[in-house]
C-alpha cells in the first residue's frame, strides 16, 4: 500500500428526484449521497461502513458512474470519471469492477457461467480467440473447477456463485474492485472462505479494494483504513487500528459498541454507546449535523453548523465531522432548515 491515491472522491452528491402526481412533478430529493469525500490509496482496502440506507451502495455505483452523480468529482488515476467520454468510461469500467451482494441477482440465470465470465472479455476486446482458456484460468484462480463452465448459476452453491461473480469482476483485469457487501448473503461458514479468497487475490494481483459493509466486524477484519458513513455523509476516516481503538465520532463509537468482543469479562464491563431512534429520512435530513437527532453528546452548535470532515487538532490523521472536536463547518441557513436549534450568536460560533 502507498499514500498515492488511486481514486479521489470530492464532495460527491447523488440526489434522486422524487416525482409525484399525474404530471410527475419533482417534489423533493432523496439525498442518498450528500457531500462525500475520501480517497483510496493504491493497494489498500478502504472499508466503507454504515447502517442500511446511508448511501454506501449509491457511493459505490457512482464511482463507476453506474448512477450519475448530481455534483462533485470522482478522479480515478488522473481521469475525471464524472466528466469522462463514452470511450474513457468504457476503459474506466474495465479498470474498476464491482462485486455485488447477491451473485444470483448479478448473474444472468439463463447464461452459462462461461458466457457470464467471458462477457467483460468481449466488451473490452481482451484475450481474443482464447476466451475459453481465459475463463478456465479465471475459474481456477477463484477456486472453481473449469469443468463446470457450461453450468448455469442455479447449479452452484451461494459461495460458488460469489466466486463466479469474483471471476467475472477479474476478467477485465481491474485495478480497483468495489465489493458491495460481498459476504452478507452467504452462510457464516462460507464468509471466511470468500474473505480469504479476496485477500489472496489482492496480494496476487495488486488489487485495491473499496469494501462496503453494514457490519463493522467484517470491515474491520479486511480494511487498512475505514470510512464511516451516516445519512449520505462520511463522518470519520482513519487507519483501522487507530479508529477501532479510539473512535472519535459518536456514531463510530455506537457502531463499535455493536461489535461483540470475544472476552466475556470485557464484554460485560465495557462502555457502550447505544443508538436510540431511527435514521432520519434522506428526503429531509436534519439541519446541521445529520447525526444530532440520535447523538448522545449533542449540543447547541450541532443544529446550526454543518460539521466539516476535517482533521482536528487532537486527531491530525483522522478527519472527523463532529463539533466535539471544535466547531468547524458551514453555518446552516435557518430559512432552509426551520428546525435548526438556536442562533449562532448565542453560541459564539458566528
What is the Cα–Cα distance from 130 to 134, expressed in whole angstroms?
A: 6
Three-state DSSP at 228 gives: strand
Check residue 55 for interaction with ligand ATP (CB under 6 A): yes
Which helix (H) or strand (E) segment is 261 a member of? none
**214 binds ligand ATP per the rule CB under 6 A:** yes
Smallest gap from Cβ 321 to ligand ATP, in A, equals 17
Does 16 help bind ligand ATP (rule: CB under 6 A)?
Answer: yes
Output 251 or 325, the one with its CB closest to ligand ATP: 251
Q: Residue 160 interacts with ligand ATP (CB under 6 A)?
A: no
* Alpha carbon distances (Å) from 210 to 11, 278, 297: 17, 27, 30
Q: Cβ contacts of residue 129 below 8 Å, gap of 6+?
A: none
User: Phi-psi bin for 285: left (phi > 0), alpha (psi -120 to 50), beta?
Assistant: beta
Stretch that binds ligand ATP, among 1-9, 39-47, 48-56, 185-193 (CB under 6 A): 48-56
Q: What x/- string results for residues 280 through 319 when contact with ligand ATP is judged by CB under 6 A?
A: --x-------------------------------------
Between 60 and 319, CB nearer to ligand ATP: 60
CB neighbour list of residue 249: distance below 8 Å, 6 or more residues apart: 228, 235, 236, 291, 320, 321, 322
Separation CA 281–CA 296 (nearest Å): 19
Residue 61 CA to its chain's centroid (Å): 9
Tell me: does residue 106 bind ligand ATP (CB under 6 A).
Answer: no
Q: Is 344 in the site for ligand ATP (CB under 6 A)?
A: no
- Asked if 66 is part of the footprint of ligand ATP (rule: CB under 6 A), the reply reads no
Q: Which of 58, 106, 287, 344 binds ligand ATP (CB under 6 A)?
A: 58
Q: Is 149 in the site for ligand ATP (CB under 6 A)?
A: no
Alpha carbon 99 to its chain centroid, in Å, reads 12
- Taking the complex as a whole, the smallest distance from the CB of residue 12 to ligand ATP amounts, in Å, to 12
Tell me which residues touch ligand ATP (CB under 6 A). Answer: 16, 30, 32, 50, 52-58, 214, 282
Amino acid at each position: 500500500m502507498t499514500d498515492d491515491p488511486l481514486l479521489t472522491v470530492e464532495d460527491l452528491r447523488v440526489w434522486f428526484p422524487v416525482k409525484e402526481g399525474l404530471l410527475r412533478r419533482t417534489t423533493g430529493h432523496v439525498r442518498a449521497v450528500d457531500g462525500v469525500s475520501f480517497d483510496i490509496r493504491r493497494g489498500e482496502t478502504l472499508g466503507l461502513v454504515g447502517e442500511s440506507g446511508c448511501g454506501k451502495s449509491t457511493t459505490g455505483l457512482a464511482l463507476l458512474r453506474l448512477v450519475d452523480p448530481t455534483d462533485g468529482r470522482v478522479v480515478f488515476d488522473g481521469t475525471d470519471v464524472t466528466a469522462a467520454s463514452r470511450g474513457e468510461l468504457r476503459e474506466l469500467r474495465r479498470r474498476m469492477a464491482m462485486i455485488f451482494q447477491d451473485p444470483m441477482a448479478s448473474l444472468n440465470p439463463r447464461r452459462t457461467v462461461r458466457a457470464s465470465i467471458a462477457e467483460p472479455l468481449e466488451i473490452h476486446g481482451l484475450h481474443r480467440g482464447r476466451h475459453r482458456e481465459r475463463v478456465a484460468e479465471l475459474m481456477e484462480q477463484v477456486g472453481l473447477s473449469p469443468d463446470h463452465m457450461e453450468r448455469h448459476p442455479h447449479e452452484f452453491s451461494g459461495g460458488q456463485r460469489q466466486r463466479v461473480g469474483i471471476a467475472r469482476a477479474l476478467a477485465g483485469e481491474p485495478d480497483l474492485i468495489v465489493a458491495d457487501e460481498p459476504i452478507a448473503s452467504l452462510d457464516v461458514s462460507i464468509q471466511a472462505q470468500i474473505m480469504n479468497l479476496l485477500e489472496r487475490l489482492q496480494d496476487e494481483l495488486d488489487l485495491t479494494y473499496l469494501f462496503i459493509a453494514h457490519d463493522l466486524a467484517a470491515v474491520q477484519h479486511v480494511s487498512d483504513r475505514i470510512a464511516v458513513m451516516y445519512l449520505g455523509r462520511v463522518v470519520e476516516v482513519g487507519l483501522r487500528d487507530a479508529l477501532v481503538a479510539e473512535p472519535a465520532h459518536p456514531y463510530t463509537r455506537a457502531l463499535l459498541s455493536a461489535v461483540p468482543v470475544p472476552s466475556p469479562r470485557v464484554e460485560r464491563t465495557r462502555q457502550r454507546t447505544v443508538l436510540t431512534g431511527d435514521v432520519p429520512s434522506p428526503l429531509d435530513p436534519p439541519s446541521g449535523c445529520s447525526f444530532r437527532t440520535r447523538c448522545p453528546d449533542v449540543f447547541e452548535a450541532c443544529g446550526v453548523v454543518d460539521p466539516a470532515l476535517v482533521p482536528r487538532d487532537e486527531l491530525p490523521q483522522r478527519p472527523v465531522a463532529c463539533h466535539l472536536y471544535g466547531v468547524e463547518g458551514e453555518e446552516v441557513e435557518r430559512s432552509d432548515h426551520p428546525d435548526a436549534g438556536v442562533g449562532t450568536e448565542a453560541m459564539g460560533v458566528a
